[in-house]
Structure 1
């Protein structure tokens, strides 16, 4: 390389150096895996400032041509081939780009464990076990579909027959009067949350979430630049009055709550707190997003009044799905809200996936209008209650004072607190080594000494076996009560 480059002086010096070094690399002078001159040495050779060489190497790094090893130097990337006409993309660099933040590492591990060939008992994923799925009902729904059904694009808000069926279902089962024009079909409740965030919020906005909560585990908030303000979940839900001082400091744009058999604590927000939350919403003009996967699972069959059913002013955006009451694989969720925002989110959904697939919507419409749907809900409640009783009985049998928890009367989760002298990482690692996986508390909020046992996925005969495995995994740890008594 010459000291005085002949390249046009309109190009910055560091770019000239980067271009020349790239050509030398592609010509094979510096093959893949070789080391470039140090920044100091190249600066002296070219009679430029070291910062100019640093900027040039930064250009090569951004292009994926080189990689830096701290304390060692700058190395030509293995993705650069000796053939000057070929160069592979640096996929590692691409994988680190984009505005979507990755899922929590433990969440990724959990999904890898349950999808692997290892014989893991799954107390981590919130779905129904095979014995709770309405298989015959779904088969009947499929058989009764018309053979000549149109299989093209659906209405961007969702299949009209499904939205009409859903409108009737919401009124009959959840006390919500919502016309089909104010409903949007989504790919489960998670897409519903994503659409609300992407359509209705801006980077820098502040929102209230529960602590702990499922929402805490979603990187979409922070990927979108949303500031989350957690409020602790008490035995009967969050304290709505805690929102007021937060709003005065942060100008809260939205409140996200899961008031009924809350994920992960299983708590039920009291009617008084629901009324107060609605009052705060209308006083300060803050919309509420009600995430309601579980209200139909109340084990004794009592109707739980949803926030949306109590909402007389239209401040609640209601989301739910069939994932926790029929089958997660259908990927049928929905949003009920003011028509203006439903149209806005339908437009965004169209940009993402051009509307929801037809066949799951037809099946869901048949399910919701089936005469057997109510019987299925009764069977589901009985089955979930049986699973809850099994896991509670097993925990009390094996752990006594080592684990404490509150018994829920609906939903699919048990929120447990360790009374064991060990770190969250130690306990999770030992559990996995014994063939059981659960959700550690830190991925759901700030509770490091808690964990969530989701009892809906395991078959009945696996529940006691899973709790026994957990007991075996923790036998070597001392209890806090013993140590400090």
Structure 2
């Protein structure tokens, strides 16, 4: 969010007036659009209300804005001496790709405001948890001689080979280089599936709650979403059968290990039952597996893909939750015909991912330092989880309840009193802490997802203190 520069010799009111005039001239504030009230804009920009009054007076004097009793302040309908600019508001409200949901936009606005927040909403690793030294060592010791032109839209061949070995050794998945597509993170894999393998009006089944509910890309593609209840064993295959019978679902989207947001792990028996059910119905499973390598104690159960007998499972993974989200390295393991179709679409989008991060990822996956990094990561995440859980028990006691996850990055908390998510989020922002309300993931109000991987160890206790203050204020109202 723009703010006036207090070190600039130009008065604050003049900076604000110039900024608003520029936005009007560029069509970002088209004729007839309403401006914030003086008090609200003063709060947003961190200035006195009198400064906004003076800025508005300047713009009124120049004929740029007008104030009408009962209607507030708006841009004048006719701006004399100015050529009309496109009404960009109408353009950005159009298009088929929907904007983020309101709660997510509210969180993003808070982050971009520049105010200090303890961020339990961000589901990525803290900088100190990434393999920075390992990557630096690769760059020092491995000469880079690859051409920097357009690469293979399916992905850098040495990286696909490294992913094949990685999946076989650590996840028990048999794959070939030709059955791997390198993507810009898991989310691009989901996007390609919705755009290339599904049609508007198609129905899919997703877990409830699920990270998929937080992605407008499904609604943008005209996909109908139907929820599958997540319990301690995972989803019930009989629910899949019922949805297929009633809605002819085309795909089932699952996150069996340390499910986002609940942290639950699907039982081995349930995995077999779900796979058998989908094979019988002839519908594919999209298995998203971002967290398995964060398993704190024992190894995470093998993915459903490892049991796949006839190519029914599209398996998605990435380095975002175990190495670095900024590398933007993800992958999909799928039948070759599917990979060819998605690679063709990928070439139309961006001609493939940049070669340099793929080169780094290939060396990282084959490096002897990967296993020690993963061990350190698991220890650090377990410590953060335990600190957050203890702080929640100490500050809120029976007001919240949660299952202690054995992997992943998140605590899924149930608030044991009736609240409104909107009020809780606003109070959290007021107290300086961010988190994601459960309704973003498809549940009724009264749940929150608290991610503990982004904040430092020292920040977690302070952040829970702030969350507790926000919750107590919300419950008291």
Q: TM-score, normalised by structure 2?
A: 0.82
Structure 1 unmatched ranges of 5 or more = 1-31, 35-71, 481-485
1:453 partnered with 2:416:
no
Map of 1:348-387 to 2, 5 A cutoff? 348-387=345-384
Q: Is the contact made by 2:322 and 2:377 (CA closer than 8 Å) also made in structure 1?
A: yes
Q: Is the contact made by 2:257 and 2:300 (CA closer than 8 Å) also made in structure 1?
A: no
Kindly report the root-mean-square deviation, in angstroms, between the aligned alpha carbons of the 2 structures: 2.1
Q: Distance in 2 between matches of 1:142 and 1:214?
A: 34
1:116 partnered with 2:116:
no
Q: Distance in 1 between matches of 2:393 and 2:312?
A: 43
The count of corresponding residues between Structure 1 and Structure 2 is: 409
Q: Is the contact made by 2:255 and 2:288 (CA closer than 8 Å) also made in structure 1?
A: yes
Provide the residue aligned with 1:104 in structure 2: 101
User: Deviation per CA, 1:95-131, whole angstroms, max 9, x where unpaired?
Assistant: 1110011110111121232343211001011100122
Do the aligned partners of residues 112 and 77 (structure 1) sit closer, same or farther apart at CA in structure 2, a change above 3 Å counting? closer
Q: Is the contact made by 2:314 and 2:334 (CA closer than 8 Å) also made in structure 1?
A: yes
- Residue 470 (structure 1) shift: 1.1
1:149 partnered with 2:146:
yes
Provide the residue aligned with 1:329 in structure 2: 326
Q: Is the contact made by 2:120 and 2:455 (CA closer than 8 Å) also made in structure 1?
A: yes
Provide the residue aligned with 1:465 in structure 2: 462
- Residue 165 (structure 1) shift: 0.5
Q: Is the contact made by 2:427 and 2:473 (CA closer than 8 Å) also made in structure 1?
A: no
Do the aligned partners of residues 401 and 33 (structure 1) sit closer, same or farther apart at CA in structure 2, a change above 3 Å counting? closer
Structure 2 unmatched ranges of 5 or more = 1-29, 33-69
1:302 partnered with 2:291:
no
Q: Is the contact made by 1:413 and 1:454 (CA closer than 8 Å) also made in structure 2?
A: yes
- Residue 159 (structure 1) shift: 0.3
User: Deviation per CA, 1:441-471, whole angstroms, max 9, x where unpaired?
Assistant: 1111123111101111111111111001111
Provide the residue aligned with 1:176 in structure 2: 173
Secondary structure, aligned partner of 1:268? coil
Q: Distance in 2 between matches of 1:235 and 1:479?
A: 32
The structure that has the greater radius of gyration is 1
Q: TM-score, normalised by structure 1?
A: 0.81
Q: Is the contact made by 1:210 and 1:233 (CA closer than 8 Å) also made in structure 2?
A: yes
User: Deviation per CA, 1:320-356, whole angstroms, max 9, x where unpaired?
Assistant: 1000000000000111100001010011111111110
Q: Is the contact made by 1:257 and 1:291 (CA closer than 8 Å) also made in structure 2?
A: yes
Map of 1:37-436 to 2, 5 A cutoff? 82=80, 86-436=83-433
User: Deviation per CA, 1:413-451, whole angstroms, max 9, x where unpaired?
Assistant: 111011234322221111111110000011111231111
- Residue 132 (structure 1) shift: 1.0
Q: Distance in 2 between matches of 1:237 and 1:212?
A: 11
Q: Is the contact made by 2:268 and 2:301 (CA closer than 8 Å) also made in structure 1?
A: no
- Residue 245 (structure 1) shift: 1.3
Q: Distance in 2 between matches of 1:77 and 1:400?
A: 52
Provide the residue aligned with 2:58 in structure 1: none
Secondary structure, aligned partner of 1:235? coil
Provide the residue aligned with 2:16 in structure 1: none
Q: Is the contact made by 2:153 and 2:344 (CA closer than 8 Å) also made in structure 1?
A: yes
Do the aligned partners of residues 476 and 91 (structure 1) sit closer, same or farther apart at CA in structure 2, a change above 3 Å counting? closer
